Amino acid sequence: MEKREIKVGIIQMKTMPGSTKREKVEHSLPLIERASKEGCKIILHGELCDTDYEKFYKKDPAYFELAEPIPGPTTQAVGELTKKYGNYVIMPIFEKKAPGIYYNAAPLVGPEGKVVGNYRKTHVAGVQVLEKLYFRAGQYFQVWETEFFPHAKFGTIICHDRRYPETSRILAQMGAEIMFCPTAAPGYAGGVHWEVVNRARSVDTGMFTVYSNRAGKEWEKVYFGESMIVNPFGEVIAKSKDEQDIIVSAVLDLDQVDKARIDVPTLRDLRNDLYIKYYRQPQYDELL
């Protein structure tokens, strides 16, 4: 029986402070092509890779002009590559859905060169950064399946979402075998806030988890890179340091998902019926 294996890749791109949206996208495309030539069938870029993330630490109404619709020019450009190589690219950008409605989004461009899905960040960050001034919160999760063997099932969350175990567990319960998480994580998000949380999401769910990050200094913030891939047992199987413009990749054996979930059946023993009672009446709010 043919092994259910798939190669995935992460683009860890350098910061480009002050460069235009077009320059960032044009810099991204050769990196996507390089990962495609290396055989990566699902490629993850970084959070809001078409912008300086530093901008979201300040209030600047003019910055809304950088947002674009999905589908739009950026996904079209990426689609030329996915159609050429028959793969998938998660290309996180600043989305304009309608007048006054904007999202921190991660569109998925498929082998036909078209957008086949779009995840919108459900936990809009308010930790130092001012994302809530720019983005609405997404309202749904999605799981997709590759149209080619091994028919891998995967979903996406974005950056701050990873701090909420519910996000990865929901994807796992929807059938995901791989979770992708684009991030823009500067220095204060490093250390135990980075690797421990990332590995825990794999242990929680028994699935592969894949995390991207940018690298380098962007105005006042320094992004530490350390993009990584974690297997269903919580082991880091690929990881960068602070290198710029590199591809981090690994071949995932999806049969490990079944083994991990047999060895530690946390999904089987979830008590959603019990948890919902406490979510509906959170005692934390009573302390206010």
pLDDT tens figures, 195-212: 999 999 999 999 999 999
* Model confidence band, residue 54 (pLDDT cutoffs 50, 70, 90): confident
Average per-residue pLDDT in the chain?
A: 96
Tokens of 210: 């894949």
Q: What is the CATH number of domain 5-286?
A: 3.60.110.10
Whether 288 has a pLDDT exceeding 70, the answer reads no
pLDDT of the residue at 287: 60
pLDDT digits (tens, 9 = 90+) for 20-50: 999 999 999 999 999 999 999 999 999 999 9
Predicted local distance difference test score (pLDDT) of residue 192: 85
Note whether 177 and 208 are within 8 A (CB).
Answer: yes
- Does the pLDDT value for residue 278 go beyond 90? no
Report field, pTM of the whole predicted structure over 0.95? yes
pLDDT at 1 over 90: no
List alpha helices for 113-254, DSSP H.
165-173, 195-205
In the Cβ-directed half-sphere of 131, how many Cα atoms lie within 13 Å? 26
- Mean pLDDT for the stretch of residues 132-154: 97
Count other C-beta atoms under 10 Å from residue 111's C-beta: 18
Give CA–CA dist 138/159, Å, rounded: 13
H or E segment and range at residue 223: strand 221-224
For residue 261, what pLDDT is reported?
Answer: 98
